[in-house]
Amino acid sequence: MKQIFDYFNKKETPDIILANPYLKDIAPLNACFNLENTLRYNAISELSFDFPESLDNGKTILPSYDKIKNKMVVKVMGIGNYIINSCPEDTSGGVAVKHVNCQSLESELLYRKTI
């Protein structure tokens, strides 16, 4: 893992991209906030963030908002890939917000698949 620091020695936020389960890029998630990444090197890492429906109080809706669903992949450049476990929507404020919870892509190996 490579940490990127700016000129003032502050850690920079990496680029975050939403992808389909085949890891094909769909949309950038640059508007996310409350980004919290828990890295575990011998276990499953976790990622959580909030994503708003709009940045200008509902005048324009971000196209990537509706594409955030369970089992989609979130790519964090330079760190790793995460699979979305839950993304409940909070509509209590002026703008709807999705609270996205992810686990590292290795967690997909925990689920059984039947053929």
d(CA 92, CA 84): 22
Strands 97-104 and 46-52, sheet pairing = antiparallel
Query: pLDDT value at position 115?
Result: 60
> 84, 102 in Cβ contact below 8 A?
yes
Q: Give pairs for 58-63: CB < 8 Å, separation 24+.
A: 58/94, 58/95, 62/31, 63/27
* Mean pLDDT of all residues belonging to the chain: 87
Q: Model's pTM, two decimal places? A: 0.83
Which amino acid type is present at position 58? G
Q: What is the pLDDT of residues 17-54, one digit of tens each?
A: 999 999 999 999 988 999 898 888 888 999 999 999 99
